[in-house]
Amino acid sequence: MKRISTILVLILTLYSCTKENVGVINTELEGKWILTNAACFCYFEDNVDFSAHQITFLGSSLNVENSAEPKFLINANGEYSVEGNIIILDSGAEFSYVVNGDKLELTAVDNPQIADDELVLTYEKY
């Protein structure tokens, strides 16, 4: 009886651990991120508060909140996938990413047919 109980506890423990990440593409991206800086060939007013721009990775879904100007990742809501260190949005846009602790840096993959399309977005975990 003791052996059966041990086996059942082990099975339940393994099942509960794997259940947490069902649908999660990349656990280091999971959660809410607040924009702290943007670098691009664009103009910003002095002392811009980027925090009105937030992104949330939940499973294989990306939710973007742009409640003030400037707006970034317009039309990025929806499913996303990850290949290596590249995030691919439903729209086809691609961003390389680096997570360093509670910092996330998204860099738009350059389209050689478009001049000055460089964009680097730096987020902090909420």
Instruction: Confirm whether 18 is domain-assigned.
Output: no
Q: Is residue 114 part of a domain?
A: yes
In a domain, 9, yes or no: no
The tens digit of pLDDT for each residue in 22-67 reads 455 678 999 999 999 999 877 777 788 999 999 999 999 999 999 9
Mean of all residue pLDDT scores within the chain: 83
> 96 in a domain, yes or no?
yes
Question: Which alpha helices (DSSP H) does 22-61 contain, by range?
Answer: none
Q: Which long-range contacts (CB under 8 A, 24 or more apart) does 73-79 make?
A: 73/121
Domain limits for position 78 = 23-125
How many folded domains does the chain comprise?
1
Residue 3 within any structural domain of the chain: no
Q: Is residue 1 domain-resident?
A: no
pLDDT of 14 over the 90 cut:
no
CATH number for the domain that contains residue 35: 2.40.128
Distance CA 104, CA 112 (A): 24
Residue 75: pLDDT over 70: yes
Residue 91 lies in a domain: yes
In a domain, 16, yes or no: no
User: Are residues 33 and 105 in contact, defined by beta-carbon separation less than 8 angstroms?
Assistant: no
Closest CA to 123 of 91, 97, 84, 92: 97
